[in-house]
Each structure stands twice: as C-alpha cells, then as structure tokens.
C-alpha cells in the first residue's frame, strides 16, 4: 500500500506541485484527491469489510498519512483517514458513518478547538440538543484542518446533561457556515466552523469518551506526518550538501556539517521510533493511547521544527527564499507544534498521564 501511494504521489504531488496548489483558490488538488479516493479507494482502507471497506489494519492508513506528510500534500485526505481510524476505534456506534464513508466517498474533518477553550475538552462549550438519531448543534469551532475539502465534520459537543460526545455534521446542512483562512502553514488551511442549530447524528456511544479518542487520533496524525516530513526534509538537505561546492569540494564533506547532519539523523530516528510505537498502540488498542499520542506529537513536531530550521541554515541563501521547499517544512513544523495543544499544555498533560 505504501509503495502504491508513494508512486502516485511522486508523480502527481511533489513539492513543486505543492507550491502551486497551496496558493490556489481551493488550496488543494481536486484531481489528486479524486485519484487517491475514487481510484485507489483509500477512504475504505480500514473500514470493515461488512461495511463495504477493505478491512485492512491500522498500519495501512498510517502509512498513507506518513506519505502525505512527507510531501506536505494539502487537502482533507489525512484528516479523513484520521477520523476514520477514530470512528473505527469507537466501535458499533460509528458503523453508520463508516458505511457512508465508503458508499458516498465522504471526506471528513475534525472540529475540536474553540475560542477561549483551545484544545481543552473539559471546556467545550458547543451544545447538542435532541435525542436518539436527531440532534442539533450550536457553537463555533476553530482551527479545523481539512474543512475546505471535507463533506462531513466530526464535532465535539455537550448534550443537555453535560456529557461530551462526538457528532457528525454535513457541511452542506442548514446552519453550517465554514470560513477557511490562509495561515502560517500554507500547505494546511484552517477553518472556523459556525453551527447554528445544524442537524447532526451522534457517532460515539454514551460513556465512550469519544472526544478523547478523536483528540488522540488527531495528535497521532500530527506525529506521523511530522516524523515523515522530518525524514524528507533531512534527505533534501543531505542531497544538497552533496552537490553544493565550496573551495572546490562538496560542503557535505566538511566535518562541522557532517556532525550537524548526524545529530539531525539521530533526532529523526528517535521521532521515527516514537511514531512506530504509537502505531503499535493504535493497532493493539493499548490503554496508553492518550499518553503515547501526546508524547509522539511532542517529539515528532519538535523534531520537524529542529530539522527544518537547520535545513534553512544548511542551504545557505537559497534556503531563505520562498521558492525553496525549506520554509514549507518549517511552517508545517510550527503548525504541528501548536495544533491539538501547545507544547507547554501537552507536556503538562503527558506528565499527568504518566503520574509525574
């Protein structure tokens, strides 16, 4: 699966193409999205077979997320696969949504953050009124990745009893207003989603802690993307050091630069190991999911920031230009650090989960 997706992306979504797409009106490539979803069937990868999917295990989806992250591909495919993995983890209550994903080729976005509350689930203010299969949501969600290309948004909201749950809202439904913004990371547009009595269906079962499952999987997505992007950024930098000459020899032969690259390689290997451990946690359903997802997000995002910052320096003057790819990795690293909880907040959460 990884090889098939990588082959398509290498031909249709290299970083030069990302430069073109990210400044376009849509912010993503609809033709590439159609190729990956309709022709390769990526939305059904981990959907159970009895719901019409391929029934593959978690690593199939995480491999695709990594390949997308390595190339900084804009769009809603990574968020869709993340939401599908989360829905699968929720069990039977999410099966109607997963069946719709396959039947209608639905792309998904995840809406967790709110003004004033940030990513703190305990402070969620969006309200859900109704019962059974009929709910109406009112509130505003911010920093929603992938909403510009999504057809359904998974929203966290509180019912009249104060219980936090996960609800699916069709973007085209009455009472849904999505405003997409260009942000620091031009490869990942973020949206504000206003809900005014928008019709919704509940995805998680009462008491299932679905909101927590959703947050953990968003952090997992950021970790997987960041680890892969850090590796890609380092590879690009090393390739440049091999051909850029100074004093009649490749600058990569200078010992000082070798040491810097070696340090980066160690950091990238650590991020890769952390991400791999997280994939195992998601696949096995281990009780350490929240801790492992938060820790991986911290380690991998910080690694990407370090590698991207060094890449700009090691490329010299060309690394500071808009036309070069280095700033794309740097901006993706910063957005990964801030999304799904700031580094300070997530570190405190990791410490609490570890009992420190």
Closest CA to 63 of 146, 106, 4, 131: 4
pTM above 0.75, yes or no: yes
In CATH terms, is domain 2-106 a member of 1.10.150? Answer: no
Residue 352 region by backbone torsions, left for phi larger than 0, else alpha for psi between -120 and 50, else beta: alpha
pLDDT in tens, 249-301: 887 878 899 999 999 999 999 999 999 999 999 999 999 999 999 999 999 99
72-88: per-residue pLDDT in tens? 999 999 999 999 999 99
Distances (CA, A) of 112 to 27, 96, 283: 22, 21, 23
**Which residue, chain included where needed, has tokens 């700031």?**
342
Do residues 293 and 220 touch, judged by C-beta distance below 8 A? Answer: yes
- pLDDT of 130 > 80? The answer is yes
Provide the residue ranges of all domains of the chain, joining segments of one domain with +: 2-106, 109-202, 210-353
pLDDT given for residue 132 in this prediction:
83
Residue 254's pLDDT is what? 85
Who's near 86: CB < 8 A, 6+ residues apart?
A: 110, 154, 210, 213, 214, 216, 217
Task: Looking at the structure, give the CATH architecture of the domain made up of residues 210-353.
Answer: Up-down Bundle (1.20)
Asked whether residue 245 carries a pLDDT value surpassing 80, the answer given is no
Q: In whole angstroms, what is the distance from residue 329 CA to residue 151 CA?
A: 27
The per-residue pLDDT of the chain, averaged, comes to: 94
Give long-range contacts, CB 8 A cutoff, 24+ apart: 36-41. Answer: 36/5, 36/8, 36/77, 37/77, 37/105, 37/107, 38/105, 40/4, 40/5, 40/8
* pLDDT at residue 251, rounded to an integer: 78
Give me the architecture of the 109-202 domain, per CATH.
Beta Barrel (2.40)
- Segment 167-223, tens digit of pLDDT: 999 999 999 999 999 899 999 999 999 999 999 999 999 888 999 999 999 999 999
Residue with tokens 């090691």: 314
């Amino acid at each position: 699966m990884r090889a098939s997706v990588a082959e398509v992306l290498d031909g249709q979504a290299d970083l030069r193409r990302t430069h073109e797409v990210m400044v376009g009106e849509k912010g993503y490539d609809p033709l590439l999205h159609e190729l990956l979803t309709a022709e390769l069937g990526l939305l059904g990868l981990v959907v159970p077979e009895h719901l019409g999917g391929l029934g593959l295990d978690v690593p199939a989806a995480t491999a695709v997320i990594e390949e997308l992250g390595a190339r900084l591909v804009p769009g809603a495919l990574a968020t869709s696969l993340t939401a599908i993995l989360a829905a699968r983890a929720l069990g039977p209550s999410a099966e109607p949504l997963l069946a719709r994903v396959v039947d209608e080729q639905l792309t998904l976005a995840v809406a967790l953050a709110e003004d004033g509350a940030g990513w703190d689930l305990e402070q969620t203010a969006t309200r859900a009124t109704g019962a059974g299969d009929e709910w109406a949501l009112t509130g505003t969600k911010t920093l929603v990745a992938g909403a510009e290309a999504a057809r359904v948004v998974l929203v966290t909201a509180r019912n009249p009893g104060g219980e936090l749950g996960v609800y699916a809202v069709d973007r085209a439904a009455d009472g849904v207003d999505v405003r997409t913004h260009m942000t620091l990371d031009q490869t990942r547009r973020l949206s504000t989603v206003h809900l005014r009595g928008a019709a919704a269906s509940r995805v998680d079962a009462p008491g299932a802690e679905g909101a927590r499952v959703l947050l953990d999987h968003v952090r997992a997505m950021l970790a997987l993307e960041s680890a892969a992007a850090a590796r890609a950024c380092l590879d690009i930098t090393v390739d440049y050091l091999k051909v850029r000459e100074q004093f009649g020899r490749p600058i990569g032969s200078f010992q000082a630069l070798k040491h810097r690259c070696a340090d980066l390689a160690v950091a990238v290997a650590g991020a890769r190991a952390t991400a791999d451990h997280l994939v195992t946690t998601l696949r096995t359903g281990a009780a350490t999911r929240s801790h492992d997802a938060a820790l991986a997000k911290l380690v991998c995002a910080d690694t990407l920031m370090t590698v991207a910052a060094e890449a700009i320096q090691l490329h010299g003057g060309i690394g500071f230009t808009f036309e070069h790819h280095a700033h794309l990795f740097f901006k993706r690293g910063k957005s990964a650090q801030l999304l799904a909880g700031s580094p300070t907040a997530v570190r405190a959460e990791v410490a609490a989960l570890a009992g420190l």
